[in-house]
């Protein structure tokens, strides 16, 4: 693999980050970290969307300038992703000067090409969606189905993009590339939307929306979200119509763009059309993830059930985000909705990270110290059929990630741990030790520790801190590329002492975990 480029949607900074934002960023980051194990040239882009009427209105209500308001909230998103160990390559802000300049040139190029034209328009505008809606898009009460508010009638002279010009080309691309939209069942939905597609407004009158990027040579208009926000995926790499940076040439097209299912239309129809108009290749895949509900209820400010990732970590006394990362990344099969509940979170991470994986490593190392003073003898080191199963797990995990099936890959790792636990139970090394069958006992412990090396590499994208702790106790190189994983990691000689053995993840309800947090 020569390179890997993945992006998230850029978050609107009208509020603070919540668990839904975190789900997408964690999902994307797990994908990114996995592919960093397969190539030295991996790039993850995230960012924030900072223009539009909502920012303009909210900042005015607060009595501060829009940019100051954006600075304040953009920092909240940055801090949230640091808290969750989202090791992105770049975080773009649509108020960045380089982005604004490139967007203006993109807009100008599309005008010169004849793909943008000026026209008067009267339509139903939802400020929440920052989009014009058709009558058929509204619910039976005439409200926006997402924001449950009646859109306002807006009459303006705007610039329009010739979306209809690219309708057939987009339909053909989707049909000829069945994995362009993931999950594939979303493609039918998009094809249905394309049937009645119309040209779209790509500017707003400055008299109505002043907080935006000015249209070059027309100070009465600001560039609307579709070109401003969507272009971030290429401007972040240094793209502008008058130049294509080396970084852009290296990484574009994106391998996968991760977005929520609610903005699939914009990314699978509007965005491909803009790219076609710019004569640029389309992203290889659009991954539309589902929503995260809270206790089976959709998040809503009015219901008071909006959960922040920081509040979850604080309520469970978590010093590191690994448990939350693992839970969110495996919350739902690819493209389906997931759910968060405190009880399920505690039960799942305790069962998998503490009881199954952490305890397996801890008791195996403890037995190695008890029976062999932490030493690996040469006679322990030989092939075990479990290694063949572990190799198959590696390939299964890679296959799932090739289709961005993050939860499914996580289940394969859990299955490997379960099989290894069963091997220990069935082999009963403690019984063999009592019978003084020490070579057999040592081989069993060696086998488990080799499997744990593999497990640490595979779980690393989900749980980088836990995996690193595992690797440290195993004296294993966690930076090893996934295709270089072998079964020659545990060497003859002293592996560990009693003092070096530490739990890699403490049960959430354990007194030890609470004591560690207090310290």
β pairing state of 286-289 and 181-182: parallel
- Contact indicator for 483, 59 with CB cutoff of 8 Å: no
What DSSP character marks residue 495? -
Which residues are catalytic, by number?
18, 21, 126, 129, 144, 147, 298, 301
Q: What is the chain's alpha carbon radius of gyration, rounded to the nearest angstrom?
A: 26
CA dihedral 241, 243, 247, 251 (to 10 degrees): 40
- Contact indicator for 302, 269 with CB cutoff of 8 Å: no
Neighbours of 434 (CB within 10 A): 10
Q: What share of the chain is helix, strand, coil (3-state, %, to 5)?
A: 50, 15, 35
Strand partners, 133: 124
What is the per-residue burial (b if ≥16 Cβ within 10 Å, else e) of 61-85? Answer: eeeeebeebbeebbebbbebbebbb
The encoded tokens of residue 435 equal 């019978």
Interatomic CA distance for residues 391 and 484, integer angstroms: 11
CA dihedral 235, 91, 86, 462 (to 10 degrees): -10
Whether the ω angle into residue 253 lies within 30 degrees of 0, i.e. cis, is yes
């Amino acid at each position: 693999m020569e390179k890997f480029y993945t992006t998230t949607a850029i978050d609107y900074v009208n509020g603070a980050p919540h668990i839904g934002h975190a789900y997408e960023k964690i999902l994307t980051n797990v994908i990114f970290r996995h592919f960093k194990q397969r190539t030295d040239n991996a790039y993850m882009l995230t960012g924030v969307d900072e223009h539009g009427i909502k920012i303009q209105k909210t900042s005015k209500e607060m009595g501060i300038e829009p940019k100051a308001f954006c600075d304040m909230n953009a920092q909240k998103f940055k801090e949230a992703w640091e808290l969750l160990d989202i090791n992105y390559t770049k975080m773009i802000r649509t108020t960045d000067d380089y982005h604004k300049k490139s967007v203006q040139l993109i807009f100008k190029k599309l005008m010169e090409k004849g793909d943008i034209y000026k026209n008067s328009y009267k339509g139903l505008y939802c400020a929440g969606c920052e989009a014009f809606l058709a009558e058929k898009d509204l619910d039976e009460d005439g409200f926006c189905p997402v924001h449950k508010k009646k859109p306002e009638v807006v009459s303006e002279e705007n610039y329009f993009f010739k979306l209809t010009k690219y309708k057939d080309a987009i339909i053909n691309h989707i049909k000829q590339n069945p994995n362009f939209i993931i999950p594939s069942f979303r493609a039918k939905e998009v094809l249905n939307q394309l049937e009645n597609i119309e040209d779209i407004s790509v500017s707003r009158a400055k008299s109505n929306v002043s907080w935006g990027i000015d249209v070059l040579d027309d100070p009465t208009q600001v560039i609307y979200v579709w070109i401003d926000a969507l272009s971030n995926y290429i401007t972040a790499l240094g793209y502008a119509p008058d130049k294509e940076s080396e970084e852009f040439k290296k990484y574009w097209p994106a391998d996968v763009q991760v977005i929520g299912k609610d903005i699939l239309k914009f990314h699978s129809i509007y965005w491909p059309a803009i790219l076609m108009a710019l004569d640029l290749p389309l992203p290889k895949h659009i991954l539309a993830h589902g929503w995260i509900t809270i206790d089976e209820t959709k998040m809503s400010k009015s219901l008071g059930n909006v959960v922040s990732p920081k509040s979850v970590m604080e309520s469970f006394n978590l010093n590191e985000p690994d448990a939350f990362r693992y839970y969110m990344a495996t919350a739902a099969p690819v493209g389906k909705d997931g759910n968060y509940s405190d009880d399920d979170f505690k039960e799942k991470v305790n069962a998998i990270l503490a009881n199954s994986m952490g305890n397996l490593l801890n008791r195996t190392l403890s037995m190695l110290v008890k029976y062999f003073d932490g030493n690996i003898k040469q006679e322990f080191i030989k092939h075990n059929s479990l290694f063949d199963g572990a190799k198959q797990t590696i390939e299964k995990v890679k296959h799932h990630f090739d289709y961005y099936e993050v939860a499914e890959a996580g289940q394969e790792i859990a299955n490997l741990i379960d099989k290894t636990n069963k091997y220990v139970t069935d082999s009963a090394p403690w019984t063999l030790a009592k019978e003084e069958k020490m070579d057999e006992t040592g081989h069993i412990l060696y086998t488990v520790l080799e499997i744990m090396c593999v497990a640490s590499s595979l779980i690393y994208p989900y749980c980088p801190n836990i995996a690193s702790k595992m690797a440290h106790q195993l004296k294993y190189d966690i930076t090893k590329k996934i295709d270089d994983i072998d079964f020659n990691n545990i060497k003859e000689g002293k592996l560990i002492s009693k003092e070096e053995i530490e739990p890699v993840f403490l049960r959430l309800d354990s007194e030890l975990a609470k004591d560690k947090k207090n310290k």
